[in-house]
Amino acid sequence: MNIAGPDAAATYEAARRRARLREKLAPWLLVSPALAITLFFFAVPIVYMARMSFNEKIDQRFYVPGFTFDHYSSLLTDSAFSNAIWTTAKLSFGVSIATTLIGYAFALLVWMKPRRWRFMFIALALCPMLISEISIIFGWWVFFPRNGLLSYVLTTMGLLSDKVGLLYTEYAAFVGLVYLILPFSFFILLSLFDGIDKKLLEASSDLGASPIVTFYEVLLPLTKGGIAASFAQSFIWAIGTYATPSALGPDTLWTIGYLIQEQMLSRHNWPKAAAFSMVLAAGVGVVMMMIRSVSAKRTPING
Amino acid sequence: MVNATVPSPMQVKSNAQAGILKFSSWGFVAFIVIYLLTPIIVTLLMSFSDASALRFPIREWSTKWYGDFFASPQWTDALLNSLMIAVGTTVISTTCGVVAAWAFEKYEFRFKPLLYLLVMLPLFMPGVVLGLGVAMAMGSADILGYQLYGSRLIVMLAHSLWAIPLVFMLMETTFRTVDHRIVEASYDLGGRPFQTFFEIVLPSVSTGIVSSALFAFVISLNEFVMALFLTTRDTQTLPVLMWLSLRSAGTPRLAVASVVLACTVIISLAIIMVWHSRQLRKAQA
């Protein structure tokens, strides 16, 4: 057989080039659907909102094209708005401390208890995640008021002589928010504990350390990064969640998220809603940067 | 030297501490169980109340509010909308997330870390920011005469912003467990990349795909802040309707809606888990 040397070489070369091109294009083709949705429904809206936040609000119109910093400066000058930032930060800080503490104790417990309990505890911790936020709100909403279950149980047990209504208090908002966010910090911390060799505890106690000393000297240093990650993660969730505090808390409990919704849906003030959203998004971004710098461990954020 | 028969003071102290810890750990278990179950039990009890006001104690029990829920077109339509949107979100986000994760596992390309951050970022954004942004930017968009705003499609796409990163994250870790020698073998035997992906790779990560699809489904079914900004009266989902009626007046119908929503989640979890384990058994046989 006579093999046409140069021809075969050319086809071979062409095939290789095509294969290389395919190798280069394939990942972009595969990423493109996810990328398109993220660009059109996340990046574009964020940029649009950034621009919108500088527009002016005149009369009853949603917005008037313009360029003003008024909406941002009103966050500092208008006490109602600056209070909202302060309220959001305070509430989120308290909630994050609570979820991290309870989540830590819960994760430690699940890790230490015999394995047969594990499935039950994890199913329990999944409850707040599988239930809609609105159903959680509703549950606490009929638990706390004067005619709610709490008041009924306390009065029938004789612990209280008169009905007590805790709905629309900061306490109710706090309990609801912690409930909503607890599973996130629990699962972060549990995955951390699962990576620790339990023999370390035996070794520590064999060497004569009491449980409390073991906790401070062995467990705490090993889980420090997870505590920071859990705190930051809870904080991000807490500042972004407005439905729970606004439905369970007092009317005066204005969080940023609530203000955004109010400006958009009731006042039809698009620029102001956009400006507040940008501030909230920036707050989330700052916390994310902090997690990135604090935790060396692989987390969803610093992959 | 520690004597074996006489415990040292340190050991006594240690035992006492262990006793206290054991006691307080049971106390904590009681607290956490009560805390996590309270809203669920309260809602379940309330859904069987006969009264029209939300108050304890419940004097008469009945299932009349269940009948009321399923007889009301407003509420059943909302449930139907929720289901359609959740299924749509699941399909969109699972497809997009799985192929994107495969690209990240299989290929090296430029801007990879940047793309990773971009795809993951929406997961950490509050729903109110995402919902508002999409509502503002897409509010007047219509594609070939199709009004995007207020449609179910826009809610599916908005929910996908949360669902895609989740699927992507789960699938990325799942794909790492794929044995690359099998993939190479398929290529060596003349399998095309497309064919290899569908016939070799996907079946070996089916558990990962099913669980990420479930995540997407549950997230979309339960979400209401984005949906609140993006739906109209015709497309409003069950959680949105619940939120709006909570603001006006509460009746046990809301408790029924909560129970129905939670049951939908649990039933779909159960169906898919049973179906999937059967598929796995079939594959093994």
Q: How many domains, chain B?
A: 1
Whether residue B21 is contained in a domain is answered as no
Is it the case that residue B145 has pLDDT exceeding 90? no
Whether residue B186 is contained in a domain is answered as yes
B78 or A77: which leads in pLDDT: B78
Transcribe A61-100 into DSSP letters.
SS-B-----HHHHHHHHSHHHHHHHHHHHHHHHHHHHHHH
Q: How far apart are CA A235 and CA A233, in angstroms?
A: 5
Q: How far apart are CA B211 and CA B199, in angstroms?
A: 19
Torsion on CA atoms A77, A81, A87, A90, rounded to nearest 10: -50
Work out the percent of chain B whose per-residue pLDDT is above 90: 43
Whether residue B265 is contained in a domain is answered as no
Ranges of beta strands (E only) in B32-160 are 142-143, 146-147
Residue B162 contacts A where some CB pair is shorter than 8 Å: no
Whether residue B212 is contained in a domain is answered as yes
> How is residue B124 annotated by DSSP?
G
Check if the beta carbon of residue B243 is closer than 8 Å to that of residue A243. Answer: yes
Residue A21 contacts B where some CB pair is shorter than 8 Å: no
Is it the case that residue B167 has pLDDT exceeding 90? yes
Whether residue B26 is contained in a domain is answered as no
Q: What is the mean pLDDT of residues A88-95?
A: 93
Q: Distance from first CA to last CA of chain B, Å, rounded?
A: 62
pLDDT of residue B21: 78
Residues 6+ apart with CB under 8 A from A75: A81, A82, A85, A275, A276, A279
Q: What is the pLDDT of residues B214-244, one digit of tens each?
A: 989 999 999 989 999 898 888 899 999 999 9
How many angstroms away from the CA of B14 is the closest CA of chain A? 5
Question: Do A49 and B33 count as a contact with CB atoms less than 8 A apart?
Answer: no
Check if the beta carbon of residue B241 is closer than 8 Å to that of residue B74. Answer: yes
Query: CA angle, corner A170, sides to A166 and A174, nearest 5?
Result: 100
Q: What is the pLDDT of residues A222-257, one digit of tens each?
A: 888 889 889 988 999 999 888 899 889 888 888 888
Interface size between A and B, measured as CB pairs under 8 A: 259
Residues pairing with B141 in the sheet: none
Whether residue B111 is contained in a domain is answered as yes
Is it the case that residue A298 has pLDDT exceeding 60? no
A34 vs B54, B164, B225: nearest CB: B164
pLDDT of residue B101: 93
Check if the beta carbon of residue A128 is closer than 8 Å to that of residue A183. Answer: yes
Q: What is the pLDDT of residues B245-266, one digit of tens each?
A: 887 777 888 999 999 999 999 9
Is it the case that residue A300 has pLDDT exceeding 50? no
> How is residue B49 annotated by DSSP?
B
Q: What is the mean pLDDT of residues B99-115?
A: 88
Q: How far apart are CA A150 and CA A165, in angstroms?
A: 9
Whether residue B228 is contained in a domain is answered as yes
The CATH number of whichever domain residue B220 belongs to comes to: 1.10.3720.10
Q: What is the mean pLDDT of residues A298-302?
A: 46
| A196-200, A213-217, B14-18, B193-197, range with the lowest pLDDT | B14-18
* Number of neighbours of residue A280 by Cβ within 10 angstroms: 25
Band of the pLDDT at A301, cuts 50, 70, 90? very low
Which residues form the domain of B141?
73-240
A19 or B270: which leads in pLDDT: B270
Q: How far apart are CA A286 and CA A289, in angstroms?
A: 5
B residues 60-119 lying closer than 8 A (beta carbon) to A: 92, 95-97, 99-100, 102-104, 106-109, 115-116, 118-119
Q: How far apart are CA A209 and CA A200, in angstroms?
A: 11
* Number of neighbours of residue A194 by Cβ within 10 angstroms: 11
B109 vs A28, A127, A205: nearest CB: A28
B residues 110-149 lying closer than 8 A (beta carbon) to A: 115-116, 118-130, 132-138
Question: Do B136 and A45 count as a contact with CB atoms less than 8 A apart?
Answer: yes
A residues 81-110 lying closer than 8 A (beta carbon) to B: 102, 105-106, 109
B127 CB neighbours in chain A (<8 A) are 240
Q: What is the mean pLDDT of residues A186-190?
A: 92
pLDDT of residue A37: 93
Whether residue B258 is contained in a domain is answered as no
Q: What is the mean pLDDT of residues A219-224?
A: 85
How many angstroms away from the CA of B73 is the closest CA of chain A? 21
Which structural domains are found in chain A, ordered by start? 75-294 (1.10.3720.10)
Which amino acid type is present at position B148?
A: L
Question: What is the token pair recorded at B74?
Answer: 């407003």
Is it the case that residue A289 has pLDDT exceeding 70? yes
Which amino acid type is present at position A9?
A: A
Question: Do A149 and B100 count as a contact with CB atoms less than 8 A apart?
Answer: no
| A156-160, A257-261, A291-295, B38-42, range with the lowest pLDDT | A291-295
Q: Distance from first CA to last CA of chain A, Å, rounded?
A: 56
Q: Which long-range contacts does A243-247 make (Cβ < 8 Å, 24+ apart)?
A: A243/A133, A243/A134, A243/A137, A243/B224, A243/B225, A243/B243, A244/A133, A244/A136, A244/A137, A244/A173, A244/A176, A244/A177, A244/A180, A245/A91, A245/A173, A245/A176, A245/A177, A247/A137, A247/A141, A247/A176, A247/B246, A247/B247
B126 vs A44, A52, A284: nearest CB: A284
Residue A190 contacts B where some CB pair is shorter than 8 Å: no
Band of the pLDDT at B41, cuts 50, 70, 90? very high
**Nearest residue to A137 via CA among B226, B6, B256, B43:** B43
**Nearest residue to B222 via CA among B211, B238, B210:** B238
Question: Do A134 and B122 count as a contact with CB atoms less than 8 A apart?
Answer: no
From residue A53, how far is each of A266, A286, B145 by CA, in Å?
17, 19, 29
3-state SS assignment for residue A56: strand
> How is residue A173 annotated by DSSP?
H
In a 10 Å sphere around its CB, with 0-12 CB exposed, 13-18 middle and 19+ buried, how is residue B163 labelled?
Answer: buried
Is it the case that residue B22 has pLDDT exceeding 70? yes
Q: How far apart are CA A83 and CA A86, in angstroms?
A: 5
How many angstroms away from the CA of B206 is the closest CA of chain A? 19
pLDDT of residue A179: 95
Question: Do B14 and A211 count as a contact with CB atoms less than 8 A apart?
Answer: yes
Question: What is the token pair recorded at B1?
Answer: 């030297």
